[in-house]
């Protein structure tokens, strides 16, 4: 468990102690390289290890177009390229980690307390999701970039990144109507956005029963079992958004987008009982809500002492999340012990 705690303590200290502006860029480079090595060169870590290793191995038996057509083409392309280069599953994982942590850092640096946002991301998004959902974590990476540009009012950039995300996991299409709903004030266009969301959601519910490609893989069971917990983790920041709505409205220029996502989180709760996998696919894309709310919440305090105290409470909460997951989650055994191809004999 020690490597996971070190991975969390590193950004936690950066968030609490701060970094001189002179060294910010260098610090982020060190963070990026460290976490790409940590997640990308893992060995037999993560619930999807066996299934995705078999998927990579299949690249030898199919032509380029046949292989891409077997599943999400973006992820299949990474496997095919790695197979031709002889990089093994480690090159696929390293490229996935590079994409994810690069996008995560870009997203975090757009927040007022970027290192706090990054520390919040590590216990679950950085450890569990990035090492356990190889396809969808890349989709989540581009979704985060989409959120960043949508918050700046750049709809075309948002739609582009959601399209790229869907190449790695088709469930990302659920977020396409968000751009219309967020930027358009006309009722008719908003209704089109809501209608589009509903149609895609129904499609994902049906996908629970007809997606045979991954039915025998570990990740399907993992998503279903942890869906409620992941959704409830998004409910907490959603409630805080509603509680502090007036103050947030005055200080967050992009508050409407996050309010829409918070409302979407609450609307998913009734469906968790009979469509847990579909709901969980969507809930993973809502995790950035935690980063935004909890990293911006201290800024609502005008007193520096209040900001520091709240930041400590927040990192303590996510330390508790990591502790509970490592010790009590039913699928944590797939992450333990942590092993890396560089340090196989150390941990």
pLDDT digits (tens, 9 = 90+) for 144-194: 999 999 988 888 899 889 989 988 988 888 887 777 666 555 555 555 555
Question: Looking at the predicted structure, is the pLDDT value of residue 80 above 60?
Answer: yes
Average the pLDDT over 92-121 and give the result.
96
Share the mean pLDDT of the chain: 84
Q: How confident is the model at residue 100 (pLDDT cuts 50, 70, 90)?
A: very high
328: exposed, middle or buried (Cβ count in 10 Å: 0-12, 13-18, 19+):
exposed
Angle at 108 between CA 102 and CA 114, to 5 degrees: 125
Three-state DSSP state, 110? coil
Nearest 5°: phi and psi at 340? -130, 140
The tens digit of pLDDT for each residue in 266-290 reads 988 877 665 566 677 788 899 999 9
The candidate with the shortest Cα–Cα distance to 136, out of 144, 276, 54, is: 144
The answer to which of 34-38, 97-101, 240-244, 274-278 has the lowest mean pLDDT is 274-278
Question: Looking at the predicted structure, is the pLDDT value of residue 314 above 50?
Answer: yes
The answer to which of 25-34, 144-153, 219-228, 325-334 has the lowest mean pLDDT is 219-228
The answer to which of 260-264, 276-280, 328-332 has the lowest mean pLDDT is 276-280
Q: How confident is the model at residue 222 (pLDDT cuts 50, 70, 90)?
A: very low
Nearest 5°: phi and psi at 135? -75, -50
pLDDT of residue 225: 55
Peptide bond into 337 cis (omega under 30): yes
CB 172 within 8 A of CB 162: yes
């Amino acid at each position: 468990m020690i490597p996971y705690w070190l991975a969390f303590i590193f950004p936690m200290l950066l968030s609490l102690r701060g970094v001189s502006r002179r060294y910010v860029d260098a610090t982020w480079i060190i963070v990026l390289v460290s976490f790409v090595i940590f997640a990308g060169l893992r060995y037999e870590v993560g619930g999807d290890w066996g299934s995705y290793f078999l998927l990579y191995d299949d690249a030898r038996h199919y032509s380029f177009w046949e292989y891409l057509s077997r599943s999400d083409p973006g992820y299949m392309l990474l496997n095919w390229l790695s197979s031709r280069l002889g990089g093994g599953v480690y090159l696929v994982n390293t490229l996935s980690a590079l994409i994810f942590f690069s996008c995560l850092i870009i997203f975090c640096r757009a927040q007022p307390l970027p290192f706090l946002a990054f520390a919040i991301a590590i216990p679950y998004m950085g450890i569990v999701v990035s090492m356990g959902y190889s396809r969808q974590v890349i989709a989540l990476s581009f979704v985060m970039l989409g959120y960043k540009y949508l918050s700046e009012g750049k709809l075309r950039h948002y739609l582009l990144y959601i399209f790229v995300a869907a190449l790695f996991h088709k469930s990302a299409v659920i977020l396409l109507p968000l751009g219309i709903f967020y930027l358009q004030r006309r009722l008719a266009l908003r209704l089109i956005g809501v209608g589009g969301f509903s149609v895609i959601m129904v499609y994902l519910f049906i996908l629970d029963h007809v997606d045979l490609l991954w039915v025998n893989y570990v990740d399907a069971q993992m998503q279903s079992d942890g869906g409620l917990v992941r959704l409830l983790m998004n409910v907490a920041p959603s409630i805080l958004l509603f509680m502090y709505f007036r103050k947030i409205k005055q200080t967050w220029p992009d508050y409407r987008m996050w309010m829409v996502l918070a409302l979407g989180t609450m609307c998913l709760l009734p469906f968790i009982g009979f469509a847990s996998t579909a709901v969980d696919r969507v809930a993973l894309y809502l995790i950035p809500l935690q980063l935004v709310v909890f990293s911006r919440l201290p800024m609502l305090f005008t007193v520096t002492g209040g900001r520091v105290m709240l930041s400590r409470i927040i990192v303590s909460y996510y330390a508790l999340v990591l502790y509970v997951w490592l010790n009590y989650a039913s699928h944590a055994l797939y992450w333990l012990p942590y092993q890396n191809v560089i340090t196989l004999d150390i941990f």
